[in-house]
Amino acid sequence: MPALLLIAHGSRDPRHAATVAALVEEVRARRPGTEVATAYLDHCAPRIPQVVGRLGDAVAVPLLLNRAFHAKHDIPAALRAAGSRLPVADVLGPSPLLLAALDRRLAEAGLDLSSPAVRARTGVVLAAAGSSAPAPPPPPPAGGGATRGPPPGGPGAGGDASAAGPRVPDALAALRSAGAAHTAVAPYLLAPGLLPDRITAAAEGADTIADVLGPAPEVAALLLRRHDEAAHAARTTRALTA
């Protein structure tokens, strides 16, 4: 089985690296026979050139939620600069496992998702980082009927912490105007840092504020799924070109 090289963005905030380390431990616990290594694009060590040289057969798995600039340009460029031709897995989103992780964080924050009445009266803002580059949107907020969040009848909205709006306070106001008796904010972000802190500050008027996805079991399972998909695709390509 190829090793899993987890590539994270990195942050000056020490909580970021601590969260990545906790997530790596969750991945290792789920699959003890697979080597798991970590490399960062910026701010943290080790960087990609320090890691790829000691890995043999491996798959690079971006710790990213969407196919924005880091996934399309930064990670491939960093791997090329390091002389690596490792296959690169797809980003994490969208996936039902991320919706399950969002549900987990909302429940941990005190939202009783087992109650249809609570789901019906709760409006959820899915607070993403936002991007200046075109990218697939995050999954619908947990208030929409197409998600694992509250069923039809519970309103939902999206909010950005940066880039284009709507901003989180505007999304909360829209939910209240739509009839939400209870409002919640679920950060669609992987680790603590400046943007999650900004979301928390902007969500001050919400009734429930969830934590970031972090080392949720669903995120660890999704990393392994993306690893396996990329490893299978690489084997198939090698077999066809042999």
Q: Are 109 and 210 in contact (CB under 8 A)?
A: yes
**Residue 9, beta-bridge partner list:** none
The count of other CB atoms within 10 Å of the CB of residue 67 is: 17
Q: What's the rounded Cα separation, in Å, for the pair 60 and 138?
A: 22
Tell me, what's the pLDDT at 31? 97
Closest CA relative to residue 125, chosen from 179, 163, 175, 161 = 175
**Same domain for 56 and 11:** yes
Segments of the chain with pLDDT less than 70: 130-165
Tell me, what's the pLDDT at 153? 37
**Same domain for 165 and 204:** yes
**Same domain for 159 and 189:** yes
**Same domain for 80 and 7:** yes
**Same domain for 190 and 102:** yes
Closest CA relative to residue 223, chosen from 41, 48, 57, 92 = 92
Tell me, what's the pLDDT at 135? 40
Helix (H) or strand (E) holding 40: strand 36-40
**Same domain for 70 and 168:** no
Total domain count for the chain? 2
**Same domain for 104 and 87:** no
Tell me, what's the pLDDT at 48? 97
**Same domain for 222 and 130:** no
**Same domain for 228 and 135:** no
Residue 79: give its domain's CATH number.
3.40.50.1400
Tell me, what's the pLDDT at 140? 52
**Same domain for 203 and 122:** yes
**Same domain for 131 and 179:** yes
Please tell me the chain's helix, strand, coil percentages from 3-state DSSP, rounded to the nearest 5. 40, 15, 45
Determine the structural domain holding residue 48 and report its residue range: 3-92+216-241
Which pair of structure tokens corresponds to residue 51? 């890691």
Q: Are 116 and 151 in contact (CB under 8 A)?
A: yes
Tell me, what's the pLDDT at 241? 86
**Same domain for 174 and 222:** no
Peptide bond into 46 cis (omega under 30): yes
Q: What's the rounded Cα separation, in Å, for the pair 216 and 176?
A: 29
Q: What's the rounded Cα separation, in Å, for the pair 171 and 130?
A: 14
